[in-house]
Amino acid sequence: DGGITQSPKYLFRKEGQNVTLSCEQNLNHDAMYWYRQDPGQGLRLIYYSQIVNDFQKGDIAEGYSVSREKKESFPLTVTSAQKNPTAFYLCASSIGTSEGSEQFFGPGTRLTVL
């Protein structure tokens, strides 16, 4: 079955540590996205990538980094510079890069900083 996988489902991190969240898609989609979800705030865009080896900052990119070395993979690193990293992180992809392309979402990773 085609889809988006995120791993792990739950992640715990000590303060000061970097951590990488995985996102893989086998939908052959060009575009991929990372969103952060906090209670009562909806989803906020962290980074997005329209093509391999290219990505753009979203609304809340500070303290995060990404790479897009392969079409199917778009890992997100939460660095120690992120002041409040505890949140639910959602990865998405879309077949095209036009504004109307439907985004498909993965199941999410819940990150907790201890």
Contact footprint for other proteins (CB under 8 A) = 4, 31, 33, 35, 40-45, 48, 50, 56, 58, 90, 92, 97-108, 110
CB of 80 to other proteins, least distance (A): 26
Of the pair 66, 90, the CB lying nearest other proteins is at 90
Of the pair 15, 41, the CB lying nearest other proteins is at 41
Of the pair 78, 92, the CB lying nearest other proteins is at 92
Of the pair 5, 17, the CB lying nearest other proteins is at 5
Cα end-to-end distance, the chain, whole Å: 35
Neighbour tally for 28: CB within 10 Å: 10
CB of 42 to other proteins, least distance (A): 4
* CB-count burial class (<10 Å; 0-12, 13-18, 19+) for 106: buried
Alpha-carbon distance of 114 to 96, in angstroms, equals 38
Alpha-carbon distance of 26 to 42, in angstroms, equals 26
